[in-house]
A and B are shown apart, each in its own frame.
Chain A
Amino acid sequence: MNRLLIALGVVGLAIVAFLSSVFVVDEREKALVLQFGSIAQVREEPGIGFKIPLIQEVVKYDDRILSLDTDSFEVTPSDDRRLVVDAFARYRIADVVRFRQAVGVGGIRTAEDRLSGILNSQIREVLGADQVTSDTILSSERRVLMNRIRDQAQVSAESLGIDIVDVRLKQTNLPEQNLEATFARMRAEREREAADEIARGNEAAQRVRALADRTVVETLSESEKEAQITRGEADAEASTIFADAYGADPEFFDFYRSMQAYEVTLQGETSTMVMTPTSDFFRFLYAPDGVGQTPPAAPAP
């Protein structure tokens, strides 16, 4: 029993010793083996590793692409229009030794602080450069600017052992106090557009009405003209007909037409005649034989 227990104890110790001297580096990680703070071993490839128990310790760093978002801040491009900008960076720890030396025990948090400082200053520098206006930022040039920020930040970040994969601008907005002015301008533009629409509508309507009125006048006058021509032709034809008919006996026409005219002109209620009975019509009024009255009839008024 005693031997068994001792054996168990020895085996247990051996296991503990083995375990504390073995470490596994994951595919996602890089590891440093530190011996009293100095770097004894660098493990960048995944796999199993060995260290001296108690004396050495293992520090692991993420080998994947890490992200960092910057706070939003205002930049002033060369045209003095202020913009609120924020960005994010994608980076990875390229050189663990340098990284460790640069950030010490602070680890990734310290690195992020440093990195955001670098990013902020590079963004300010690139976006505030002489030839960069807010129009440049708000155009397809933006990608060029982002690449420039990345490249410049890359140079600065190299001392941190960090490789910057990408820097991208997210928002590039107007400051709060400029928003209202912009909205007001947009509203004014719309109002102009609306007014324009209505004015054009009125214009078109007026045009249509005017054309319609003109066409009406044209149509009516055209038909009036036609009507007059027709009437004229009719009158001419009637005149010809009359001339042909009456021309056969002008003397009788004179008499006959006069009779008709008397009949029409001397209408009952409207006419009053003052006459003497000496006219031919009244020849028999006083004398049944119709004589005696006739001579004075000639000088009748």
Chain B
Amino acid sequence: MNENESTDRKFPSQANIRLAIVLGLIAIMLAIMPFFYLREMVVPN
């Protein structure tokens, strides 16, 4: 079912929010990855 039959422009549909959250989570995961992979590099000076 196509989502744009909703005429409510300011409040996105559930499907749009779901997809956006998934994509956002992927982004956050990727941003954190270098830190986990390299936590042994955190050596105090």
The answer to whether A and B come from one shared complex is no
